[in-house]
Structure 1
Amino acid sequence: MKTLLILALCSLAVICVTSDAQPEDDQPADEGLFVEMEQASAVMRQKRNAGQLSLAQLESLREVCEANIGCEHMMDTNGIIAAYTAYYGPIPY
């Protein structure tokens, strides 16, 4: 019985190795994992506004801005987003 099982497995292996079946690729071989910078930027670019920042992110901006008196005053009058952007540049997240 074991001999018959081993013979069947060997014959199946021979059929698989000698078959003319070619693997089908959905993507051409010249396409890789890398894309052009413009295409990647278009995919990754996201608009940010105050509604999209979490409370923790706003609090961290507030803590940074409180260390600067001018930024803190502007934060009180114009808001945290405008003050942080004016004093420290674009928001990092």
Structure 2
Amino acid sequence: MRTLTLLFACALLSVCWSMGGESTLPDRPPHVVMKRDLAAVLLRRRRAPDRSAHFSWKEVCELNEACDDMADTAGIVAAYTAYYGPVPF
């Protein structure tokens, strides 16, 4: 059984060596570079999101201490509505 396994491994190794005449390594770096460039663009978008209206409500509410405390407990929408009226959508 051990001899058969060794013979099979040697046959597989010789087939792999005979088929691998040319190396494919020089073709791979451009693909890797393209993937890194694409990943950098995607990460850049994720790190710099657009400012939404939610951030402006929070900034307005942070100036008033009572509104800021209520925003921490009840939520920003409830606090803004209680102190400044309905939320403008």
Q: Give the TM-score taking structure 2 as reference length.
A: 0.42
Greater percentage in helix? 2
